[in-house]
Amino acid sequence: MKKRTMRTVGKILSNCAKKKISCAYDAKYGRGRPPTPPPSTTINEHQDRSRSDQSQETSIWQQPAPVSHEVSDSQVDYRTSPEIEIEGQYFDSTSGLNFLHRAWKKLFQKEGSASYDSNDAERNQLLTSAGDRPFHVENGTSYDFIPDILTARKLLQFYFETCVVTYRMFHRQTVEGWMEVFLKDCQERRPIARSLGNSRTAILLTIMAIATLRSERVRVNGEMSKENESLVLQRSDQLFCAGMRLSDAEMGFPRLESAQARLIQVLYLLQTSRMNKGWYTFGNAFHITLSLGMHRRRDEKRDFPFTSRRQNYITSECYKRTFWAAYIIDRYLSVVFGRPRLYQDDDIDQDFPDNVNDEDMTPQGPSISDDPADCYIDALIFHAKIARIIGKVSREVYSVGDLSNQDRLAAAHRLGRELHEWRASLPPHLGTVKPSTLMPSFRRQAIALQLAYSHALIHANRPFLLSEAASENVIECIFATKASLEIINRIAGDSTLFHSFWWTHYVIFCALAVVYVWEIQRATRSTDEIDDQSLGKIFDLAEKCRGHLKRASTGLSQNQRYSVILDELRSEAQRCRFMTENPPNPRQGGLHGREANTNTDIGFPFLQNSDMFGSDPEAMLHGGIIPNMPDSFLFSDWQTLDSSAFLPFPDPNSVSPTYFPTVP
């Protein structure tokens, strides 16, 4: 027992030294029950309040440690210890993620309530779907839900003209041929996969599922009640699940369509915020692409990969399109989930697809066009190129290796220059031309790439947001955040745009997190990189986009989690600003003079009317905020924040109701 305690104290001392915090010891080791720390008005008041009402909106990590009857060498002062061991787990009271712990506790307490959708139906699913909203599928195998011929053709047309933005992995005319065969089989009441096979039929069913979902959102301009959304999902889920059953039952060796079927299923899952199922389904697609050698350039002399033998031009180009679409999805899933990338650049030598539109392709090669118009495949190619840079940022700036901050900063500068060069290389219709002047398909592509560019700059520079030695990175991060918020605010009223990109909600979350962390930085340190007028515009945009995210959260537990987490971070920023402008009087032992200064001209304009203290104003003083957050927010904390909406909640029957587990 003594060795275990010594290890605990050793860990505390190590963390104190690392964070340059002094440790205080109130008593030496003695037999029997360890002595309690000397009385402290602040600590005693906080402990009394914690015991009387643990449901207060204060930090759950500030609860007093339970009294132990074990022998210990010393009793560490709770006020100065960076870590305390509680019920076998370590809790870091100086962590920059304390706001996140509070958000998790709120989400945990809302499990099963009417106001939160993460209930037993979401929890009690297969491992690959646990945490996602359940599918709206009726029992039985009847195919009466398949649209009639006219509707099916319209859905296919809507998919290619509206739903596809940069993930162009299909040849439209080929898929239209599949649809005619499929409809003929349905009309003659044959098994739906009899003529086309499982994977091609699954592709058609998923295309109709996506088009059904998106066309309804366009019809109501994105404003959909929870009940109406449930009805639309029921129709689209029936189509999707029928396709999923077919692909799961596929026999034989994999083909190009095997990978395409699973990738388009991933896109449906991501658009319906079934992120966990999407993650596992993408893993299956990833392995199929590798087994087909899609990551390798075809060697004409050796005819490798072997699966590429005797391919016609259309099939060969679809191999390339499909691989690079998968590559892009992999990079964004990695960022959103805060997890490692699956594709490794060192293993890839595949060429980008040719700049040829579908109508200009023949089995023998591209047809000669008298009018070489702008190509839809440009967006796929440039999206793949920026995805490659994003992967480098994740690998070099966020490396889990023991890299110095200087090395990470140098990598951010180098990759930032690559991003600027990428932006300058865009063709006019994707870069310099004003998107509102473009036809709808190109407008969606241009906006998608603009949003990708702004997000990539945020991703590269945000780890240095709290650093005093990286003002250039701070400025670039803040203005990239402003650009992201402007784009989102501009497209929020257009359902054909706002719902075109499955990761729009994550970009909002990412940008707002930067705004709130930056406000904490401004509250705790003197900064003058950004003028007050620009900051005011950014805060105004942040509030508008926060409203867009909340309105888009109908029935989406992922977005609801985003909102709760952002609310806690926003409150943290408000508290830090308030503490800076209203320092507590130590003689009064509280915030009795807090109403003396309510000036909110600089900082959040919504500060004055917000309930930033919850039900206990003094909670802020007794550990509710992290005065040294700029010193305690680590590189890895950004990735933890990214994945915070997807971390699995524990079984409430096996976790103490008082304490919540630490980050996995």
pLDDT in tens, 70-99: 333 333 333 333 443 333 333 444 455 666
**Taking CA 147 as the corner, what is the angle to CA 142 and CA 150, rounded to the nearest 5 degrees?**
150
Q: Which of 655, 567, 630, 461 is nearest to 95 (CA)?
A: 630
Q: Is the pLDDT of residue 172 over 50?
A: yes
For residue 238, the model assigns a pLDDT of 93
For residue 135, the model assigns a pLDDT of 87
pLDDT, mean of residues 300-306: 56
Supply 518's token pair: 């930056």
Longest dimension (CA), the chain: 94
Q: Is the pLDDT of residue 441 over 80?
A: yes
* More confident: 372 or 308: 372
Mean pLDDT of the chain: 76
Contact yes or no for 328/449 (Cβ under 8 A): no
For residue 115, the model assigns a pLDDT of 36
Under DSSP, the state recorded for 585 is B
Identify which of 1-10, 259-268, 571-580, 634-643 has the greatest average pLDDT. 259-268
Lowest mean pLDDT among 94-108, 460-474, 584-598: 584-598
For residue 563, the model assigns a pLDDT of 84
Lowest mean pLDDT among 22-36, 169-183, 319-333: 22-36
CA distance linking residue 117 with residue 128, whole number of Å: 18
CA distance linking residue 149 with residue 151, whole number of Å: 6
Identify which of 7-16, 501-510, 579-588, 609-618 has the greatest average pLDDT. 501-510
For residue 348, how many other CB atoms are within 10 A of its CB? 15
CA distance linking residue 435 with residue 512, whole number of Å: 24
**Sign, Cα dihedral of 227, 568, 269, 454:** positive
pLDDT, mean of residues 248-271: 96
**Taking CA 190 as the corner, what is the angle to CA 187 and CA 192, rounded to the nearest 5 degrees?**
90
CA distances from residue 426 to 11, 351, 381, 423, 483 in whole angstroms, order as listed: 52, 18, 10, 6, 18
Q: Is the pLDDT of residue 605 over 90?
A: no
Q: Tens digit of pLDDT for each residue in 46-75?
A: 444 444 443 333 332 233 333 333 333 333
Contact yes or no for 114/579 (Cβ under 8 A): no
Q: Tens digit of pLDDT for each residue in 531-582?
A: 667 777 888 999 999 988 888 765 556 777 888 888 888 888 888 777 766 6
Task: Kindly give the pairing relationship between strand 365-366 and strand 361-362.
Answer: antiparallel
CA distances from residue 265 to 192, 239, 243, 272, 287 in whole angstroms, order as listed: 18, 11, 8, 11, 15
* More confident: 403 or 42: 403
For residue 65, the model assigns a pLDDT of 37
* More confident: 335 or 639: 335
* More confident: 631 or 350: 350
pLDDT, mean of residues 406-415: 95
CA distances from residue 524 to 184, 222, 252, 338, 438 in whole angstroms, order as listed: 68, 40, 62, 28, 45
**Taking CA 295 as the corner, what is the angle to CA 294 and CA 298, rounded to the nearest 5 degrees?**
70
Q: Which of 519, 540, 529 is nearest to 606 (CA)?
A: 540
Q: Tens digit of pLDDT for each residue in 448-497?
A: 999 999 999 999 999 998 887 788 999 999 999 999 999 999 988 776 77
pLDDT, mean of residues 181-185: 95
Distance of CA 343 to the CA centre of its chain: 19
Q: Beta strands of 33-121 (E only): which ranges?
A: 74-76, 83-86, 89-92
- Long-range CB contacts (within 8 A, 24+) of 219-223: 220/495, 221/493, 221/495, 222/495, 222/498, 222/499, 222/552
**Sign, Cα dihedral of 162, 168, 172, 175:** negative
Q: Which amino acid is at 364?
A: Q
CA distance linking residue 211 with residue 217, whole number of Å: 10
Contact yes or no for 263/319 (Cβ under 8 A): no
Report the SS3 class of residue 89. Answer: strand
- Long-range CB contacts (within 8 A, 24+) of 62-71: 62/93, 62/622, 62/623, 62/624, 63/658, 63/659, 67/33, 68/34, 69/33, 70/1, 70/5, 71/1, 71/2, 71/5, 71/29, 71/31, 71/32, 71/34
CA distance linking residue 648 with residue 644, whole number of Å: 9
Identify which of 122-136, 237-251, 498-512 has the greatest average pLDDT. 237-251
DSSP string covering 596-628: G----SSS-TTSTTS-TTTT-GGGGTTTTS-TT
Report the SS3 class of residue 304. Answer: strand
Give the model's confidence band at 607: pLDDT under 50 very low, under 70 low, under 90 confident, else very high: very low
For residue 652, the model assigns a pLDDT of 45
Q: Which of 267, 244, 264, 247 is nearest to 255 (CA)?
A: 247
Please classify residue 120 by burial: count the beta carbons closer than 10 Å to its beta carbon, then call 0-12 exposed, 13-18 middle and 19+ buried.
exposed
Q: Which of 292, 163, 287 is nearest to 217 (CA)?
A: 163
pLDDT, mean of residues 138-166: 87
Q: Is the pLDDT of residue 24 over 80?
A: no
For residue 139, the model assigns a pLDDT of 58
Give the model's confidence band at 163: pLDDT under 50 very low, under 70 low, under 90 confident, else very high: very high
pLDDT, mean of residues 387-415: 93
Contact yes or no for 8/91 (Cβ under 8 A): no
Contact yes or no for 464/474 (Cβ under 8 A): yes
Supply 380's token pair: 């796929």
Buried b (16+ CB within 10 A) or exposed e, 82-93: bbbbbeeeebbb
For residue 615, the model assigns a pLDDT of 37
Q: Is the pLDDT of residue 113 over 90?
A: no
CA distances from residue 282 to 163, 286, 501, 635, 663 in whole angstroms, order as listed: 20, 6, 17, 27, 25
For residue 386, the model assigns a pLDDT of 98
Q: Is the pLDDT of residue 597 over 60?
A: no
For residue 471, how many other CB atoms are within 10 A of its CB? 13
pLDDT, mean of residues 204-213: 96
Q: What percent of the chain has pLDDT over 70?
A: 64
